[in-house]
Amino acid sequence: METIPTFTTTTWYRYLIQLGGGGYLLEFVHMQRQDAWYMTIMLPDKTVIMAGVRMVEKAPLMLRSSDPRLPLGMMVVLHVDGKSGDPIRDNFKAGYVELFYDRNLKIVPGKNSVDYVSALVKVS
């Protein structure tokens, strides 16, 4: 399992990252009205694969898409500071609320995703 970098120094940013053997452009936007973070996953050429994914704690973030271009595995947001709740403007960063990626888990809706997230929560 690896941590995907997140930042709170700005309310919009994007960067290239290697996930599951492929290159992806991740974009993060903070929406002030909801005090929530949203992520878009793109190919390096800015082709959108999955847009407007709200960062929700303990939920497999790529579960609702079946696009084969998505990285294999699972992304999940977890508190590492002992608290709970979805990430807000100032805590979506290292040491507080972090975004994790595990390329070894293939999500099967309704079967293993909830159990796996529960196991991650116990470990962190």
pLDDT by residue, tens only, the chain of 124 residues: 788 999 999 999 999 999 888 899 999 999 999 999 999 999 999 999 999 999 998 888 887 777 889 888 888 898 888 888 899 999 999 888 889 888 876 555 554 444 545 544 444 3
Provide the residue count of the chain.
124
Q: What is the pLDDT of residue 123?
A: 42
Gyration radius of the chain's alpha carbons: 14
Rounded Cα–Cα distance for residues 86 and 77 (Å):
8
Say which amino acid occupies 63: L
> Which helix (DSSP H) or strand (DSSP E) does residue 118 occupy?
helix 113-123
What tokens appear for 106 in the block? 């293939």
What predicted TM-score, i.e. pTM, was given to this entire model? 0.83
Residues whose CB falls within 8 Å of the CB of residue 27, separated by 6 or more in sequence, listed in order: 12, 13, 14, 39, 40, 42
Structure tokens, 117 = 């997230």
